[in-house]
Amino acid sequence: MDTILVTGNGPLHGQIPIAGAKNACLTLMPATLLSEDPLTLTNAPRLSDIKTMTTLLQSLGAEVSALQDGQVLAMSSHDLTSHRADYDIVRKMRASNLVLGPLLARLGEAVVSLPGGCAIGARPMDLHIEALEALGAEIDLRDGYLHATTKGGLNGAVHEMRFASVGATENMVMAATLAKGTTVIKNAAREPEIVDLVTCLRKMGAQIAGEGTSTIEIQGVDRLHGATHQVVTDRIELGTYMIAPAIAGGEVECLGGRIDLVSAFAEKLDEAGVSVEETAGGLKVARKNGRIRAVNVRTEVFPGFPTDLQAQMMALMCTAEGVSVLDETIFENRFMHAPELVRMGAQIDVHGGTATVTGVDRLKGAPVMATDLRASVSLILAGLAAEGETRVNRVYHLDRGYEQVVRKFEGVGANIERIKEDG
């Protein structure tokens, strides 16, 4: 497995281009299953998860071509040959479950393996099942697969989510576009990736209102047509690179960044003593004065502080002045990076879903192991602020969510390299 070596060497300066959103693209790609016409996505991120979704769609009979160095995805589902998403593909990535709603809506049946992904909690499928059953689907779990069918197609319904699940909201929105009548989703997730999905579906002819609020209304149509859509900026990659000058010093401009995508996160950075300034090209980030101040963080669904930026924020708090408390309310098992940061000299005490971080003057480089996608990059960030060399092992997680991570850090002056290893 590959290893990333990071040596702390002072402040960072320059520009980092922010890619299209992984989570948005992985939602937009299954939307091709809803129409016989072509769907083209631009600003697509070049990640292993995108390749996994490509393989999954192709296994269903969709045509997917990566153009312009992978940043354009040309897709067509005019001749689907299967409604079965096999375990061997689905186990690699949680977002694979997003083919369930489109397959049901288009074909009236779907067989989808229970999904995989990072080991950061159970993330059960019950919310997806409840949402699709509200539209009239019949779903059984047999031998690790969800077997879903409809009798005469899906029908609009009023459904209130028990939890504002992003994936369940996305699955229900896509399925409801081709359902008969009107669907109202209450307590819907409000994430920018859902707004981006609705924008794309509307280009395809869907009739949807209320995206970005807790109530989404969908008027079903007979068919959807083709479209071209630009994937929204990745707010998690954006937040990650905003941490870099905060933890290492210096000033970095994140090209393509939008403050509305990371408002709660930016507020916490401001509280910690980090300046975030809007520019013509994106967001410019720098420490205001002196040492970072400790701040408390509680992860919440959007528009609250994102769970996917909790690990990166913890890395920043390791050298902050004072004591910070981080409450993880979205996923269990999401403090697996804490013991690795402790190996670098951090003082972290974890009890259940709460981590208390007492800032130290300086971290020290050490061999550490990445446990999941966001933990991987948090350890790299910590390495930027550490004395000596940090060796981050098992970095294959990174390729699922960050494109050209070494090149982007190198571009602003970081001392970082990726070592290719056999095995």
Q: Which letter, b or e, does each residue of 79-117 get, where b requires 16 or more Cβ atoms within 10 Å of its Cβ? A: ebeebebbbebbbbbbbbbbbbbbbbbbebebbbbebbb
Percent helix, strand and coil across the chain, each rounded to 5? 35, 30, 40
Binding site, annotated residues = 22-23, 94, 123-127, 308, 330
**Adjacent-strand bridge partners of 327:** 298, 354
Rounded to 10 degrees, what is the CA torsion of 366, 379, 89, 19?
-140
Query: What does the alpha-carbon distance between residue 287 and residue 43 come to, in Å, rounded to a whole number?
Result: 30
Q: Are 77 and 36 in contact (CB under 8 A)?
A: yes
Q: Are 236 and 308 in contact (CB under 8 A)?
A: yes
Q: Are 345 and 390 in contact (CB under 8 A)?
A: no
Q: 397: which DSSP letter? A: G
Q: Are 44 and 25 in contact (CB under 8 A)?
A: yes
* Token pair recorded at residue 303: 């528009």
pLDDT score of 121: 41
* Token pair recorded at residue 125: 């499928």
Active site residues: 118
* Token pair recorded at residue 58: 């192709």
- Helices 100-107 and 166-176: crossing angle in degrees, nearest 10, is 10
Binding site, annotated residues for phosphoenolpyruvate = 22-23
- Is domain 3-18+233-419 classified as CATH 3.40.50.2300? no
pLDDT score of 120: 35
- Nearest Cα residue to 21 out of 169, 196, 168: 196
Query: Which positions of the chain have pLDDT values less than 70?
Result: 116-124, 422-423
Q: What is the CA radius of gyration of the chain?
A: 22
pLDDT score of 116: 52
Is it true that 3-18+233-419 and 22-230 share their CATH fold?
yes
Q: Which letter, b or e, does each residue of 179-191 get, where b requires 16 or more Cβ atoms within 10 Å of its Cβ? A: bbeebbbebbbbb
**CATH superfamily for domain 22-230:** Enolpyruvate transferase domain (3.65.10.10)
> In the chain, where are the structural domains located?
3-18+233-419, 22-230
Sign of CA dihedral 97, 103, 109, 110: negative
Query: What does the alpha-carbon distance between residue 402 and residue 10 come to, in Å, rounded to a whole number?
Result: 23
Residue count (the chain): 423
Query: What does the alpha-carbon distance between residue 6 and residue 8 come to, in Å, rounded to a whole number?
Result: 6
368: Cβ contacts below 8 Å, ≥ 6 apart:
340, 341, 343, 344, 379, 390, 391, 392, 393
Mean pLDDT score across all residues of the chain = 94
Binding site, annotated residues for UDP-N-acetyl-alpha-D-glucosamine = 94, 123-127, 308, 330
Burial of 342 (0-12, 13-18, 19+ CB in 10 A): middle
| C-alpha pair distances (Å), 84 with each of 1, 52, 151, 210 | 31, 15, 18, 32
pLDDT score of 32: 98
